[in-house]
Structure 1
Amino acid sequence: MRKLGEFRLNNQESDFQNVFEFPDFVEMRPVLRDAVRSAARESFERPELPVKVERATTALEEQLERETRKYERQMGVYPNQTTELNALVRLYTHILQIISRATDITPELEDIIYAVNQTRLSLIQLPKLVGVGELYREDRDQELIPDTFYDYVTTYLVKPYLIDPSGQIVPANVQKAGRQLVVKMTTYAYRDWDAYLTHEYDEQHIVKNRRGLTNDAYYQQLEAVELKYADKVYSKVLADVYQAFKRILIPAYTKQFEIMTTPLSPILRKAPQVKQQLDQIIRQAFHVDAAGVEHVMDNQIQAIKNKYQFYRENFT
């Protein structure tokens, strides 16, 4: 993990500091989640069942991230959002207090405290905007942020599903398979892959500890679990594509390229030739065929099936 001074140097490049965009957020997330869990637990008037606390934790963590990213995109606060923003700042303050309760403040914990506090300060310092802004709704589906990394990739991949190829990418002009692809990519953009893999490991553990299974049934159930979570391959594909984008764009065309917030259109307007490079990265990583259809899952699924077929043929 980077030292605190390195965080400060890195974060001086951006006006808005977002803990979810810090370089080592993957390492920070468990500590942040524990703090959110404590905040969720303390929100109940009396002790609650663990499952209820976990649901509240998940909802609160999602709200924390989505609201933070919203204000980062807006770079300001509308009058009707003042109460919401104040509540968000109070939540960050509470999380900061919870993390700071630790008896041993390690350099790593200092980095997390710094990142959370910088986010809190960025929210406090947001300028006032004129007009009406969007308020958070828990039941609202998450959407891809226009003109950012995930939106760019999805827009490229959905092209073969357009009813009118020259038309806009709007629901009315996208075939059902294309709309499903957009939903899938949106899911991947916001998915907590660590938690997703934990669910897979848990299900595998259940199968491995299930008594009385024949070898054939054992392999069949393990195969079903692995196929269920086969789309985890998208985590690596998207991460690789993002890193490839960064290598092209930084520092030649932009000082930083954040996965959820940096708009691509200003870069492409100044350097239109870059689009061909970015599109080529997508084509290769997603195994896009001549018709423009991606085939990331093909090899993944076949490899899983081949593996368990081998097990059944040789170990039953």
Structure 2
Amino acid sequence: MAHFHIDHAALTGNQEKSAKSAKPKEDFPNVFDYPDFIEMRPQLRQAVHTVAEESFDQPVLPVKIERLAVALEEELEQETRKYEAQKAVFTNQKTECNDLIRLYTQILQVISRDPDPNNTDIEDLIFAVDQTRQALRKLPEKPGKGPLYDPDSVRAIEPATFYDFVIQRLAHPYFISDSHELHRKNLSPEGQQFVDRLSAYAFRDWDAYLTHEYDAQHIIKNEKKLEDRVYYTKLEEIELKYADKAYAQVFADTFNDFAKVLTLGYLNHFDIHTTPIPVANAVLRHHLSAIVHQRFLVDDKGYEHVMDEPIKQIKAKYAFYLNNFS
């Protein structure tokens, strides 16, 4: 569970007239509608990621931070647009709106920590975020009930469906007992982390994930006066962080292979999240398991190696850059 630690101290920032010129025409200054939001987005996304990371009291897996960051970003935009459209706060929404204002406060605190006076994008972002926060504060209260933000409930992988079948095969080296039941108590600590990571991939928006990577690269490429070695090292860190995007293609290829087999003689339709696989059929089970082993590069001990080659290529590329261009 994430716990947010919010400093309610007043924020100060250098809000120049150049930033004010970016203000949208609408009465409600929504940061997501500012003309320069495309340039602001990478810094905003990085700030939200920092808020997510700092919300945990103890170290957690990066995938949990990513999940929370994406959830916060979605909540931030959806709630802001809701209140912009309502132009008021209903009685039952007061707590929700106050929480949204506090989230904007946290974001402002993050982006205001080490402001670069020469970075007009940051100045514009500080101004836009603060204007949105102030607009939320000024919304009038309205009697009655309004809709509350209802994020998608935590989705669980259905038993015997595609991801359940694949993850169960890949988790074999981590099972404690010979039953091979995919329960946390039957997995080693390392196996629990492994299954959590693969389970997150089942519902990941890979397009959004790639956008996050591009935004992170954009920030580095626009930093001024970076030494070549620092520049390439930072880019390498980003590529390594997002190297697990390789799983997107592997899962897609595996699903297509499954679909070809299953729709030929076993199922009329095969949905990735809802269709149970007839696992009682030993021949089919063996066939599909072989596909998993092939696509995920499973070794003789049962460990998958999807990330080996991408990481090797990234390290080789940046070793070349560092040796020849720094």
> 1:274 is aligned with what amino acid?
L
Q: Give the unaligned 5+ runs of structure 2.
A: 1-73, 90-96, 104-146
- Identify the residue that residue 199 of structure 1 maps to in structure 2: 212
* Correspondence for 1:236: 249
Aligned pair 1:165/2:178, yes or no? yes
TM-score norm. by structure 2 comes to: 0.55
Which amino acid in structure 2 is aligned with residue 272 of structure 1?
A: A
Which of 275, 287, 307 lines up with 2:297 in the alignment? 287
Query: Alignment partner of 2:165: what SS?
Result: helix
- Displacement of 1:150: 0.4
Verify the 8 A CA contact 2:172 2:180 in the aligned structure 1.
Answer: no
Q: Distance in 2 between matches of 1:39 and 1:212?
A: 38
CA distance in 1, matches of 2:298, 2:88: 52
Match of 1:208 in 2: 221
Residue deviations 1:185-216, cap 9 Å, x none? 11100111000000000010111111101111
Higher helix proportion, which one? 1
Q: Distance in 1 between matches of 2:309 and 2:202?
A: 22
Cα RMSD (Å): 3.2
User: For residue 292 of structure 1, what is the amino acid of its counterpart?
Assistant: G
- Superposed CA deviations along residues 234-277 of structure 1, whole A, max 9, x for unmatched, are 10110010011111111321111100010013xx43x4312121
Quote the residue 2:81 is aligned against.
Answer: 41
State how 1:125-140 maps to structure 2 within 5 Å. none
1:302 aligns with 2:312: yes
- Residue 86 of structure 2 aligns with an amino acid whose one-letter code is E
Deviation at 1:138, TM superposition (A): 5.5
Please give the TM-score of this superposition, normalised by the length of structure 1.
0.57
1:272-304 Cα offsets, whole Å, 9 max, x none, are 312121111111111111111111111111110
Would the aligned equivalents of 2:239 and 2:314 in 1 still touch at CA under 8 Å? yes
Q: Distance in 1 between matches of 2:312 and 2:323?
A: 16
Q: Is the 8 A contact 1:142 1:186 kept in 2?
A: no
Return structure 1 stretches of 4+ with deviation > 4 angstroms: 37-40, 137-141
Q: Is the 1:286–1:296 contact (alpha carbons within 8 Å) kept by the matching residues of 2?
A: yes
- Which residue in the other structure is 2:30 paired with? none
Cα pair 2:296 2:305 within 8 Å, conserved: yes
Aligned to 1:277: 287
Aligned equivalents of 1:167, 1:247: Cα separation in 2: 27
Which is greater in Rg? 2
Deviation at 1:167, TM superposition (A): 5.2
- Counterpart CA distance in 1 for 2:225 and 2:306 is 36
Once the two structures are TM-superposed, the CA of residue 168 in structure 1 deviates from its matched residue by 2.8
Measured against aligned partners, the alpha-carbon deviations of 1:23-52 in whole angstroms (never above 9, x if no partner) come to xxxxxxxxxxx9xx7797236633799xx6
Work out the percentage of aligned pairs sharing the same amino acid. 42
- Aligned counterpart, 2:159: 146
CA distance 1:210–1:167, change in 2 (3 Å):
closer
Decide whether aligned partners of structure 1 residues 167 and 249 sit closer, same or farther in structure 2, where only a CA change above 3 A counts.
closer
